Structure 1
Amino acid sequence: MNENQKAIAAAPGRAQRLAEDAAEAADVRRWQIHPDVVALRVERVRAQVDRLCWAGIVLGLAFTTANVQWFAAAGAAFGSLPWLTAWLLDPTVCLVLLAILRAEQVTARYQVRTGPWVRAAKWLTLAATYVMNTWSSWAAGSPEGVVLHSVPPLVVFVAAEAVTDLRDKLTDAVAVAFMNATDEASVHEPADPEPAVTRSEPPARRKLFAEYLTDVRDAWTPGVEITPAWVRGVTGCSRGLSPRLAAALSAEVGEGVRGHD
């Protein structure tokens, strides 16, 4: 058998393998862009972002503690009552700031906007930390001291603002993946040119969040307790989606969500 005959004989096998590889690649890509897979990846990234930002924020606030204590002690004798109580000032401010950031971690996840008082409280605590940390350097006219003691509070300030936007955009990424998958599912695909190759298909059509919200809105009546479990009972939605629907409906009707089941 010459080379041409060997090539002709091997062609069908190669074509079949290529077809199988192409089908497998298409199947992998479909699941890679599936909204549930995207959501899982985004959650992993969100967890990494949160850990890194929280580590930076806590370290930055810890750096400011000694300078704020020195500022609050105002030259009090070592070990005296004013010197000891001065250590309470920075934790007081930092705990309020951390509480606000922790709350925003949840509200940003569900894209719930906080009021102006929340933002004012965050900026006030950050500004107070900055002023108390750099006051001595400004008073002494020390540019290097101002720079040194400005960096940690400013990094904390920028990180506190950035992490909220990052969480919001990560949630948007999940929503975009969901909408793209919904749009693709609405388009009818042509017949498969390789019927011998089987593929696992993602769901053809997923129900939109707005549609679920319409269902719970129609089902709710005054006096009905809004809980994630009740939402799942009237809509059949997933356990992960029911808290969002319960929160959205509660915001509309002006009631709090009961329970977390």
Structure 2
Amino acid sequence: MSEPIERVAVQVDRLCWTGILLGLAFTMTNVQQFAAAGAPVWSLAWSAAWLLDPMVSLVLLAILRAEQVTARHGVRMGGWVRTAKWFTLGATYVMNTWSAYAAGSAALVVLHSVPPLVVFVAAEAVTDLRDKLGSAVAVSVVEPTSLQSNVQQPAKRPGQRTSFADYLAVARAARTPDVVVTPAWVREVTECSRGLSSRLAAALRAEVQS
């Protein structure tokens, strides 16, 4: 049951990031024209104008990727990170639509607003989507494991502990290719103790690297 969800999670992640990259690529020409301000083609000012959009976009992509990873482990970003994200998104929108607003063309405003707005929405949605899909993977792994344990094994006596191998099997099944294996992530998907999570994370990382 968990394998299809994992595949969907990877597909959703790739599609969202592809959409974000295409949206940013679409804005590059308009931003270049805004920065060049009518400079002759191949002049120094015209050539340098191509650097403005990648400069903003690379910072934005770095923030989005870092935010996605930290959110998966329950770590909240500070105010400066949020400010930087929304500043770069806002700057991209303004530079991309400036000429359309100046021309007073509603059609151009709509045309040049759609890609930045898609990036805005996807930037917020991609983190939540990946987090919820990760939770779905964990639930789909833990529930069948619990049912199988109840059917094939006698009921546990009070105080009986889940084995290291059982915890490791749950963590192994829940891991997706883009997951960073940390003790915090192991505790999230297995609900093991803090001390055991470090050993489980080390064992799982060793398996991945071998």
Q: TM-score scaled by structure 1?
A: 0.59
Q: What is the distance in 2 between the residues matched to 1:48 and 1:214?
A: 34
The amino acid across from 1:154 in the alignment is L
Q: What is the distance in 1 between the residues matched to 2:206 and 2:143?
A: 18
Q: Where does residue 239 of structure 1 map in the other structure?
A: 204
Query: After the TM superposition, which residues 70-81 of structure 1 pair with which residues of structure 2 at under 5 Å, given as runs?
Result: 70-81=33-44
Alignment check: 8 A CA contact 2:70 2:76 kept: yes
1:88 and 2:51 matched: yes
Q: Where does residue 210 of structure 1 map in the other structure?
A: 191
Q: How far apart are residue 143 of structure 1 and its match? A: 0.6
The amino acid across from 2:78 in the alignment is G
Tell me the secondary structure at the aligned position of residue 75 of structure 1.
Answer: coil
1:127 and 2:108 matched: no
What percent identity do the matched residue pairs reach?
60
1:70–1:63 Cα change, 3 Å: same
Q: Where does residue 199 of structure 1 map in the other structure?
A: none
**Long gaps (5+) in structure 1:** 1-31, 33-37, 192-202, 217-230, 244-259
Q: What is the distance in 2 between the residues matched to 1:110 and 1:190?
A: 33
1:186–1:165 Cα change, 3 Å: same
Q: What is the distance in 1 between the residues matched to 2:201 and 2:70?
A: 24
Q: Where does residue 171 of structure 1 map in the other structure?
A: 134
Tell me the secondary structure at the aligned position of residue 193 of structure 2.
Answer: helix
Which has the larger Rg? 1
Q: What is the distance in 2 between the residues matched to 1:113 and 1:168?
A: 13
1:118 and 2:99 matched: no
The amino acid across from 2:8 in the alignment is V
**Long gaps (5+) in structure 2:** 155-162, 168-186
Task: Point out the structure with the larger helix share.
Answer: 2
Q: How far apart are residue 136 of structure 1 and its match? A: 0.9
The amino acid across from 1:92 in the alignment is M
The amino acid across from 2:102 in the alignment is A
Alignment check: 8 A CA contact 1:130 1:150 kept: yes
Alignment check: 8 A CA contact 1:64 1:153 kept: yes
Q: How far apart are residue 166 of structure 1 and its match? A: 0.3
Alignment check: 8 A CA contact 2:34 2:95 kept: yes
Q: Where does residue 181 of structure 2 map in the other structure?
A: none
**1:21-80, CA deviations, whole angstroms, 9 ceiling, x for partnerless residues?**
xxxxxxxxxxx3xxxxx1x33332222112211211111111111100111111222222
1:45–1:189 Cα change, 3 Å: same
Q: What is the distance in 2 between the residues matched to 1:126 and 1:69?
A: 16
Q: Where does residue 20 of structure 2 map in the other structure?
A: 57
Q: What is the distance in 2 between the residues matched to 1:103 and 1:236?
A: 21
1:156 and 2:119 matched: yes
Alignment check: 8 A CA contact 2:24 2:119 kept: yes
1:42–1:120 Cα change, 3 Å: farther
Q: How far apart are residue 175 of structure 1 and its match? A: 3.0
Q: What is the distance in 2 between the residues matched to 1:242 and 1:210?
A: 20
The amino acid across from 1:174 in the alignment is V
1:113–1:82 Cα change, 3 Å: same
The amino acid across from 2:79 in the alignment is P
Q: How far apart are residue 180 of structure 1 and its match? A: 3.0
Q: What is the distance in 2 between the residues matched to 1:241 and 1:43?
A: 21
